Amino acid sequence: MLALFDLDGTITRHDTLAAYLAGFLRQHPGRVWRLPQALPALTGFALGRIGHGELKSAWLRAVLAGRTREELEAWTAVFVPKLIRRGLFADAVAAADAHREAGDTLVLMSASPDIYVPAVGRALGFVRTLCTGVEWDGSRLTGRLATPNLRGPEKARYVQALRLEYPGLPIVAYANAASDLDHLALADRAALVNGSARARREAVRRGMASLTWR
The model's pTM is: 0.94
pLDDT given for residue 172 in this prediction: 97
pLDDT for residue 110: 97
Q: What Cα–Cα distance (Å) separates residue 188 from each residue in 59, 127, 159, 169?
A: 36, 20, 11, 10
C-alpha dihedral sign at 150, 155, 159, 160? negative
The mean pLDDT of 30-43, rounded to a whole number, is 93
Strands 189-193 vs 171-175: parallel, antiparallel or unpaired: parallel
Q: Using 50, 70 and 90 to split pLDDT, how confident is the model at 92? A: very high
Show Cβ contacts of residue 91 under 8 Å, excluding neighbours closer than 6 positions: 211, 213, 214
Across the range 156-182, mean pLDDT stands at: 95
Q: Average pLDDT, whole number, for the chain?
A: 96
Categorize the per-residue pLDDT at 44 as very low, low, confident or very high, splitting at 50, 70 and 90.
very high
Residue range 102-121, pLDDT digits in tens: 999 999 999 999 999 999 99
Percent of the chain with pLDDT over 90: 99
For 173-198, the pLDDT digits (tens) are 999 999 999 999 999 999 999 999 99
Which has the closest alpha carbon to 99: 172, 40, 153? 172
Superfamily of domain 2-211: HAD superfamily/HAD-like (3.40.50.1000)
d(C-alpha 135, C-alpha 141), whole Å: 6
pLDDT at 25: 97
**Count of CB atoms situated within 10 Å of the CB of 115:** 25
Q: How far is CA 121 from CA 108, 132, 149, 199, in A?
A: 6, 14, 18, 26
pLDDT tens figures, 46-87:
999 999 999 999 999 999 999 999 999 999 999 999 999 999
Annotated domain spans of the chain: 2-211
Share of the chain above pLDDT 70, in %: 100
CA distances from 70 to 94, 109, 178 (A): 33, 25, 36
pLDDT at residue 116, as a whole number: 98
The pLDDT value recorded for residue 143 is 95
Asked whether the beta carbons of 176 and 194 are under 8 A apart, the reply is: yes
The span from the CA of 127 to the CA of 121, in Å, is: 8
Give the C-alpha distances (Å, rounded to integers) separating 107 from 7, 96, 171: 10, 10, 10
In 3-state terms, the chain is what percent helix, strand and coil (to 5)?
50, 20, 30
pLDDT of residue 57: 97
